[in-house]
Amino acid sequence: MAIEDWFIKEIQKPTRMLSVLISKAAGITSDTEAETIEKIQKVFKERIGVTLENLIEKEDHTLIDFLIDRNLTIEQIELTADLFSTIGQKINDQRYLNKALGMYTYTLQNTKTYSITLNDKIQYINNQ
């Protein structure tokens, strides 16, 4: 039982990290933009081994493969897309939105359930 509990906690760590980062990104204002992005960059560098800028520079299929190689689940890839989408909207950077769109599209194609919310996220970015 203890091994199962440890395993579940290990699996949930990236999800918790991404959720915290999304909430930080949602609070970005022009006054805190650089500071918040810097904090997010630091967490990504520590936890995943790359900065957001490194991820932005990757081709969509390479980015997805990279995240999968880091053992991110489909749900965690969607959370990463949420983070990129939030940052892209807050700092008005189309590169982040384009990466989010690629991750959302991958998620939509590889999930076993239909998600209206996921389709709404894709539609929102397509309308930007």
The tens digit of pLDDT for each residue in 74-90 reads 988 998 899 899 888 88
Residue 5's φ and ψ, nearest 5 degrees, are -60, -45
Distance of alpha carbon 54 from alpha carbon 64, whole angstroms: 13
The domain spans of the chain are 38-126
Confidence of residue 101 (pLDDT cuts 50, 70, 90): very high
Reported as a single tens digit per residue, the pLDDT across 28-49 is 555 566 677 777 777 778 877 8
Q: How far apart are CA 40 and CA 36, in angstroms?
A: 6
- Other CB atoms within a 10 A radius of the CB of residue 8 amount to 9
For residue 62, pLDDT over 90 is answered with: yes
* Alpha-carbon distance values, 60 to 44, 45, 92, 93, 102 (Å): 18, 19, 20, 16, 6
Buried b (16+ CB within 10 A) or exposed e, 55-81: bbebeeeebbebbeeeebebebbbbbb
User: Which pLDDT does position 110 carry in this prediction?
Assistant: 93
Is pLDDT larger for residue 101 or for residue 49? 101
- pLDDT for position 99: 95
Share of the chain above pLDDT 70, in %: 73
Name the pTM for this structure.
Answer: 0.74
Specify the DSSP class assigned to residue 112. Answer: S
Residue 7: is its pLDDT beyond 50?
no
Number of residues that make up the chain: 128
